Amino acid sequence: MKVLLLDDEAGARATIKSYLQNTQVPPEEIREADSVSSALELLNDWQPDLALLDINLPDGLGFDVLARLGLDRIRFKVIFISAYDTYAIKAFKYNAIDYILKPVDPLEFEQSVARALKALQTTEQFRNLQGDFTGAPKALNKLVLKDHQSVRLVAIDEIVRCQSENNYTLFFLTSGEELLITRTLKEYEELLKGRLFFRPHKSHLINLKHLLRFDKADGGSIHLSDGSTVPLSRFKKEVFLQLLDQL
C-alpha cells in the first residue's frame, strides 16, 4: 500500500507514520507533504492507495488538494485527520473513509486504515471485473480439461459454472454435461481471470455470460441459464452489485 501523508506539522507526521507501521498491512511507501502545493506536486506523477489529509494548511485546506485534482484523477481512498470537527460533514461529501480528530487514538486509526484497505480491495476487484467488459478479447477461447480417462477441449462460453468438490472441480456445461476435473477451483479462478468469470462464493465460480437473475432475498442468490442457483457470499455482495450496474 502506498500512502500520502499531508500535515504541516512534522511531529504529527512522525506520529502517524509510527501508527501506520503498526497497522495490519504496513505501507510499502509513504510520501510526505506539508502543504496543498507540495501534495499536488507529489500527485502530479504519483498515485497513492490512501491519502491521510490534514485540513488546515498554510496555503489552503486539505479539500483543495482533491478539488484541484478533479474526480477523474482520484483513485485513492481518503482519511481526514484534523484538530477540529468543523469540517466533518464536508469531508464525507468527498467520500472520505473516516474523519479522525487529533490527538489521534491509535486504535481508532488502525480501524480506519483497515476500512480503507477493505474498500481498496473491493474497488480493485470491481476494476478487474469491469476490465473484462471493456478490455480487448483474449486469444484463449478454450480450456483443456483433464480427468482420469480423457482430455477435453471445452469452449469457454460453454462453461456455465464451476463448483468446488474438495480438491476437484465440477464443471457444468451448456450441454448439460458435468465434468469432474482433478484441479482445484482456485486454480481455475486464476486461469479464467479476464474471461467474465466471478467467484460469488468460496464453492462456486460462475460465467457471467450465463447470468439470468439475482434475487436479494435471504442474503442473495444468483440464477443461471442452466436453471441452477448459486449463493452470494456477503463478502462478495458489494463487488457483485457494483458489477450488475455495469451489465
Dist CA 184 CA 169 (whole Å): 6
Residue 135: the pLDDT is 47
Kindly list the averaged pLDDT for each block of 10 residues, start to end, along the chain of length 247: 96 96 86 98 93 97 93 87 90 87 94 88 63 49 80 90 94 94 90 87 95 87 95 88 75
> All domains of the chain, ordered by start, with CATH?
2-134 (3.40.50.2300), 142-244 (2.40.50.1020)
Which among 132, 123, 116, 191 has a CA at the least distance from the CA of 159?
Answer: 191
Residue 136: the pLDDT is 41
Residue 244: the pLDDT is 80
Residue 133: the pLDDT is 52
Residue 143: the pLDDT is 86
Which among 91, 50, 33 has a CA at the least distance from the CA of 67?
Answer: 91
Residue 196: the pLDDT is 86
Query: Does the N-terminal peptide bond of residue 103 adopt cis geometry, omega within 30 degrees of 0?
Result: yes
Which residue is it, cell 480438491?
A: 167
Residue 218: the pLDDT is 75
Q: Are 4 and 48 in contact (CB under 8 A)?
A: yes
Stated pTM of the model:
0.55
Which among 98, 96, 101 has a CA at the least distance from the CA of 84?
Answer: 101
Angle at 203 between CA 124 and CA 161, to 5 degrees: 85
Q: How would DSSP label each residue in the chain? A: -EEEEE-S-HHHHHHHHHHHHTSSS--SEEEEESSHHHHHHHHTS---SEEEE-SEETTEEHHHHHHHH-GGG--SEEEEEES-STTHHHHHHTT-SEEEESSPPHHHHHHHHHHHHHHHHHHHHHHHHHHHHHSPPPS--EEEEE-SS-EEEEEGGGEEEEEEETTEEEEEETTS-EEEESS-HHHHHHHTTTTTEEEEETTEEEEGGGEEEEE-GGG-EEEETTS-EEE--TTTHHHHHHHHTT-
